[in-house]
Chains A and B, each alone.
Chain A
Amino acid sequence: MSWEWDVIIEHFPRLLQGAILTLELVLFSGFAGLMLAVPLALMRVSSKPWIQALPFAYIFFFRGTPLLIQIFLVYYGSSQFEFIKNSALWPILREPYWCAIITFALHTAAYIAELLRGAIQSIPKGEIEAAKALGMSYPMMLRRIILPRAFGIMMPAYGNEVILMLKGSALASTITLLDLTGMARTIIARTYTPLEIFLAAGVIYLIISALLILLFRFLEKRFNRHQHWPNEKPKDLDPQHIEN
């Protein structure tokens, strides 16, 4: 078995090009997914069953079906209907790039919404009661207490979800996109050196994961900085820390 380093060196720039597309897909879909997840999670924690029903069905569908099937449904499915092809949506849906971002965003939103729901429900009751006692309105409570606290609580699990999406994004290669995996497969189709090229692609995925882990460690510290006494002085009195 001969190992060809030249192949890796020669094709590395193209792999990096693929990696940039992978990053774009993960970041854009991750951001859109998060935006979508917030209202879904807030509806999910509602005490009224008819408000809960919609996010419940949504989350059930997107968590219960494989991402590959979802991306095929959006990409190949949308082109089967004349009314979609005649609609204003077609310029977007005819592009594999947007199909991938839409699918990934819808998919990850379902998972993030569940994480966020769990986080919201695990905020200590006292903090919500304190906010209410101070006379905060619901929107202000959301902005100042509930969402910042929930983000802090869910941050480790959310980092995990983003890394899962990074690896899930390899499925973009099935709808003709030249992301890191698609690029690797296209190169291998010519060089027949799957071990070398997939190893190089794997290393790039590892590096991106490592960067994401660092980013989320930073975000975790930032959102939960009130807990990291005495490195940072709490601006408000926090009964948990006074005894220290």
Chain B
Amino acid sequence: MGFKKLMTAAALIAATLSAPAIAGDKIRIATEGAYAPFNMINADGELAGFDVDIAKALCEEMKADCKIVAQDWDGIIPGLKARKYDAIIASLSITPERSRVVSFTDHYYSNSLTFVTGKETSFDPKMVEGKVIGAQRATIAGQYLEDNLGDKATVKLYDTQDNAYIDLASGRLDAILSDKLPAYDWLQSKEGQAFEFRGEKIDIDDKIAIAVRKPDSELKEKFNKALKAIIDNGTYEKINAKYFPFSIY
């Protein structure tokens, strides 16, 4: 351990020890860490992104001692049920299926779906016959593809969004159906330059919220109160502006 790291650790311990005694309970929050710009691992190897900033703002508002952990996407709800953590702030959409197994807070942003394809391609979202379209497994986009286009197009499901982008770039996919906001972020990146949104956005009344275990209604109320507070006091707006030039609430 370097001297600098040692000092940081010492400072952290000192901060923890001197924290006010009224500091709330310890809350463990899971996020995925592979869904930029909402949650990702930054250059320093730490979790960062919109979800993580919101989680930190909420914890500060609740004066709670939070620990944010990374968890693979398709195990994220089972992990909550297994008490590996107490809440999920990982751009999780409210769906009837999920509502059967977890409890959702009020939404903290809204999402729509859109097709992403190469700028040069002739891909038309209205004519997908025989096309190969990808999406991330266990997402709204993936389910929308299976339910609405599954009999016309070939649907391929990926473990991470990044792997779907790789296959879009390699030409294995004609298009990706993706959540609009993270795709917006990817299109701004160097790899995304040759690609664009195609067709109307698909409004699926997709609200993103925090998930907690069903019996934890007290924690849910705490989150709701803190969420309202950070929206009212402008913290939310500041975090939003850091990632998107438009409101995503």
Contact = CB atoms under 8 A, between A and B. Distances in A.
Contacts of A191: 97
Contacts, number: 48
B233 interface: no
B137 interface: yes
Interface residues of B, number: 24
Given A174-B159, A189-B137, A76 B166 contact: yes
A80 B163 CA distance: 12
A185 B74 contact: yes
A176 B158 contact: yes
Interface in A78-113: 79-80, 85, 94, 96
A50 to B, nearest CB: 38
B78 A192 contact: yes
A208 interface: no
A190 interface: yes
**Best-surrounded residue of A185, A186, A188, A189 (most CB of chain B within 10 A):** A189
Contacts of B142: 189
B29 interface: no
Contact of B97 (A76, A80, A185, A192): A192
Contact of B138 (A85, A96, A189): A189
Contacts of B74: 185, 188-189
A194 interface: yes
Given A79-B167, A85-B171, A192 B159 contact: no
A69 B75 CA distance: 21
Interface in B98-155: 98, 100-101, 134, 137-138, 142-143
A132 B78 CA distance: 65
B171 A94 contact: yes
Interface in A104-133: none
A75 B158 CA distance: 13
B201 interface: no
A194 B166 CA distance: 28
B159 A190 contact: no
Given A176-B158, A185-B74, A190 B171 contact: no
A79 B165 CA distance: 12
A170 to B, nearest CB: 13
B198 interface: no
Contact of B98 (A94, A186, A192, A194): A192
B137 A186 contact: yes
A181 to B, nearest CB: 11
Given A186-B137, A192-B78, A176 B97 contact: no
B170 A79 contact: yes
**Best-surrounded residue of B134, B157, B169, B171 (most CB of chain A within 10 A):** B157
A79 B167 CA distance: 8
B156 interface: yes
Interface in A41-95: 76, 79-80, 85, 94
A186 B136 CA distance: 10
Contact of A192 (B100, B137, B167): B100
B77 interface: yes
Contacts of A85: 170-171
**Best-surrounded residue of B74, B134, B172 (most CB of chain A within 10 A):** B172
A45 B142 CA distance: 51
A197 B189 CA distance: 38
A238 to B, nearest CB: 55
Contacts of B157: 176, 186
Contacts of B169: 79
Nearest to B163: A76
A21 to B, nearest CB: 14
B137 A80 contact: no
Given A79-B169, A190-B97, 16 more contacts: A76-B163, A76-B166, A79-B171, A79-B172, A94-B171, A174-B159, A176-B157, A185-B74, A185-B137, A186-B138, A186-B157, A188-B74, A189-B137, A189-B143, A190-B138, A192-B97
Nearest first, the 8 closest Cβ-Cβ pairs linking A and B are A79-B170, A189-B138, A176-B156, A192-B101, A194-B78, A94-B172, A189-B137, A192-B77
